[in-house]
Amino acid sequence: MRVAIGTDHAGLILKKYVVDAVQSLGHEILDVGVYGDEKVDYPDYAEKVGAAISSKSAERGILICGSGVGVCITANKMTGVYAAICHDTYSAHQGVEHDGMNVLCLGGRVIGPEPAMEIVVAFLNAEFIEDERFIRRFNKIKAIEAKRSSSHE
């Protein structure tokens, strides 16, 4: 699987651990930055990861900013991107299995390296469960997305 990873300066330290966790599972990394400790704006990197998901250049994405909130809000503005902040393993796998989540958001100033790596593993090992109730709910999410994007609200 190809995994797009993006951070702002507040996520840079945690990024190394996240990359290690992704690579330990044998997945390919699409690193959209940031690469140094320069101060940057998180929406720029969330948009790059979201674009990779929308264009199908990557199957999953991981975003890190200080809290995880800013990148999550930004990513969810993009069509086909279903992002959530997860600071526990249950939410990370359940978000994929039940809700079709394809972008994991982490707070670099909220969570430590070891829990983050376990969360990444849970997220990447999870697959959407093809159960009627989960499909129905996910289709409702996509219908809302389509309705809102076509009405430009």
What CATH number has the domain bearing residue 125?
Answer: 3.40.1400.10
pLDDT, tens only, 18-64: 999 999 999 999 999 999 989 999 999 999 999 999 999 999 999 99
Q: How many domains is the chain partitioned into structurally?
A: 1
3-state secondary structure of 40: coil
86 is catalytic: no
Tokens standing for 2? 């190809």
Cis before 49 (ω within 30) = no
For the cut 80, the answer to whether the pLDDT of residue 150 exceeds it is: no
Q: Which of 86, 93, 98, 152 is catalytic?
A: 98
pTM: 0.96
Sequential DSSP letters for 96-107:
HHHH---EEEEE
Query: What percent of the chain stands above pLDDT 70?
Result: 98
Position 149 scores a pLDDT of 79
65 is annotated as an active-site residue: yes
42 closest CA partner among 75, 2, 87, 13:
75
Length of the chain (residues): 153
Residue predicted with more confidence, 147 or 67 = 67
Catalytic residue among 65, 72, 86, 105: 65
The model's pLDDT over 96-120, given as tens digits with 9 standing for 90+, comes to: 999 999 999 999 999 999 999 999 9
SS3 48: helix
* Domain assignment of residue 50, given as a range: 2-151
